Amino acid sequence: MFEDMVTARRYEERLQEEYLEGKQPAFDISAGPIPGELHLAAGHEPAAVGVCEHLRDDDTVTAPHRPHHVAIAKGVDLERMTAEIFGRETGLSSGKGGHMHLFDPDAKFACSGIIAEGYPPAVGAAMAAEKRNTDQVAVAYAGEGATNQGGFYESLNLASVHDLPVVFVVEDNDWAISMPKERVTAVDDNTKRAEGQDIPSARVDHNDAVAVYDAAEKAVGRARAGNGPTLLEVQVHRRMGHFMGDAEAYRPDAEKERLDAIDPIDRLEERLRDEGVDGERVDELRDQAEERVEDAIEFAKDQPEPDPEAAYDDVFTNPPSGVTDEEPGEEAISAGGDD
C-alpha cells in the first residue's frame, strides 16, 4: 500500500513538472509536452490503495476525471499510461484518450471525464459478474460533488434492488472545483444517502489508509460473497488546485488548510515505523517508486507521436464500409496498439 501511495504521489509530482514545461511564464493550457487539462490527486491516495489492495486483476474499476492514483493502485500499465498522457502512439489509447480517459482492459480499468458517469458502467460490470456467476466485483469511484448527480442515485438503486457486487467509493475532498461541499450538498455524509437506498455504508475520516483498507475489506468481501453493494466514503484532502493552472482564488485559505491536514503518506509512514518497519526499508520503497516513475516518464518521452491519419481509426471496432480506407481486419489489429 505504502509503495503504491508513494508511487502515485511521485508520479503526480513528476507529471506536474512535465506539464508546466512550456506553459510558463504565462500559463497556456495547450502548450508544452502534456496538453489539455490535468487533474492531480495528491492527498487522495488512501482511497485508491486502501480499496484496490483487495481487488484482483479481473475485478473492474471505473474512475473519474482524477484517475492516476486509482489507476496505479489497480495495476494499470504505468509506461503505457504515461505515454497516453503524453499523447504518444504507444499510449493505452494510442493517444486518443488522454489523462481523463484511460482505458486498460488488461487491468480492467476505465475512466470518464463526465461527472458521475463511471457509476452506471460499474453497475453493469457487476451485473455481468452476477449473470455469469463469477465472483468478480466492480468498484466505482467518484468525488463528493458527483454524488449530487442523477447517475449516482440511479446506480445505487439499481445495484441495491439487484444485490449486485459493486462497491461505490466516494472521495470526499470537500470541494467540487470552487464549490465547497456545504454550499451544494444537502448532507455532510453520503452514508445517509446510501441508507436511503438500503445500501450498507461506511465513512472513513481523516485520510487514513489503514482504516480505508479495513473498511474496504468488508465491502469487497460482501460483494464477492454475493451479498450486494456497499458505499464507502473516504475523507481526503485536495492538496492542489482542481486542475493544473487553477489559481484557487475562491479558496484563500488553501495553503493553510493543506498544512493543517495531515498528509496521508506521512501518516502511513509513521504507522509503519511505529510497527517496527525500519527506516531503510521505507527509503528503499521510496527509491523504488521514484525509479519506476522515472522509467515510465522516460519511456513515454521516447515514444513517437501518432500519425495524424490515425485519428480516423477506432471510431468503430467493425467499421462499416466507406468509413475508413482500411479493411475491418486491419482496424482490429491497429486497435491493439502495443506493438
Partner 1 sequence: MAEADTDAPADAAERELTMSRAMVEAIAHEMETDDDVFVMGEDVADYGGIFDSTEGLLEEFGRDRVMDVPISETGFIGAGVGAAQEGMRPIVELMFADFFGVCMDQIYNQMAKNTYMSGGSVSVPMTLMTAVGGTYNDAAQHSQTLYGTFAHLPGMKVVVPSTAYDAKGLMHNAVRDDDPVVYMFHKRLMGIGWMPAPEGPKTGVPEDDYTIPFGSADVKREGEDATVVTLGLHVHRALEAAESLAEDGIDAEVIDLRTLVPLDTETVVDSVRKTGRLVVVDEDYESFGVTGEVVGRVTEAALDDLEAVERVAVPDVPIPYSRPMENEVIPDSSDVEEAVRATRE
Ligand X SMILES: Cc1ncc(C[n+]2csc(CCOP(=O)(O)OP(=O)(O)O)c2C)c(N)n1
Which CB sits closer to partner 1, 7 or 190? 190
Of these partners, ligand X, partner 1, none, which one is at the site of residue 37 (CB under 5 to 8 Å by kind)?
A: partner 1
Q: In residues, how long is the chain?
A: 339
Residue 68 sits in the site that holds partner 1 (CB under 8 A)? no
Question: How far apart are CB 143 and ligand X at their closest, in Å?
Answer: 2
**How far apart are alpha carbons 175 and 154 in whole angstroms?**
23
250 is catalytic: yes
Dist. CA 94–CA 151, nearest whole Å: 29
CB of 241 to partner 1, least distance (A): 11
238 tagged catalytic: yes
Q: How many CB atoms lie within 10 A of CB 264?
A: 27
Alpha-carbon distance 66 to 153, whole Å?
Answer: 21
Distance of closest approach, residue 306 Cβ to partner 1, in angstroms: 5
Asked whether position 118 contacts partner 1 by CB under 8 A, the answer is no
Asked if 291 is part of the footprint of partner 1 (rule: CB under 8 A), the reply reads no
Q: Which does 68 bind (CB under 5 to 8 A by kind): partner 1, ligand X, none?
A: none
Residue 213 Cβ vs ligand X, minimum distance, rounded to whole Å? 21
By beta-carbon proximity to ligand X, the closer residue of 24 and 178 is: 178
- Residue 306 binds which one of ligand X, partner 1, none, with CB within 5 to 8 A depending on kind? partner 1
Catalytic entry in 69, 238, 239, 286: 238
SS3 sequence, the chain? CHHHHHHHHHHHHHHHHHHHCCCCCCCCCCCCCCCCCCCCCCCCHHHHHHHHCCCCCCCEEEECCCCHHHHHHHCCCHHHHHHHHCCCCCCCCCCCCCCCCCCECCCCEEECCCCCCCHHHHHHHHHHHHHCCCCCCEEEEEECHHHHCHHHHHHHHHHHHCCCCEEEEEEECCEECCEEHHHHCCCCCCHHHHHHCCCCEEEECCCCHHHHHHHHHHHHHHHHCCCCCEEEEEECCCCCCCCCCCCCCCCCCHHHHHHHCCCHHHHHHHHHHHCCCCHHHHHHHHHHHHHHHHHHHHHHHHCCCCCHHHHHCCCCCCCCCCCCCCCHHHHHHHCCCCC
Q: Of these residues, 54, 99, 242, 286, which one is catalytic?
A: 242
Q: Which of partner 1, ligand X, none sits in contact with 173, Cβ below 5 to 8 A by type?
A: ligand X
Q: How far is the CB of 97 from partner 1 (least distance, A)?
A: 6
Catalytic site residue from 101, 206, 222, 250: 250
Is position 72 an interface residue for partner 1 (rule: CB under 8 A)?
A: no
**Cα–Cα distance between 214 and 113 in angstroms, integer?**
29
Site for partner 1 contains 185 (CB under 8 A): yes
Size of the site for partner 1 (CB under 8 A): 51
Quick one: what does residue 259 bind among ligand X, partner 1, none, with the CB cut-off 5 to 8 Å set by partner type?
A: none
Residue 176 touching partner 1 (CB under 8 A):
yes
Q: How far is the CB of 65 from ligand X (least distance, A)?
A: 5
Chain residues binding ligand X by CB under 6 A are: 65-66, 113-115, 142-146, 171, 173, 175-177, 238, 242
Under the rule (CB under 8 A), what is the footprint of partner 1?
26-30, 35-37, 84, 87-88, 91, 93, 95-98, 100-101, 112-117, 145-146, 148-151, 176-179, 183-185, 245, 249-250, 305-312, 315, 323
Write out the catalytic residue numbers. 238, 242, 250
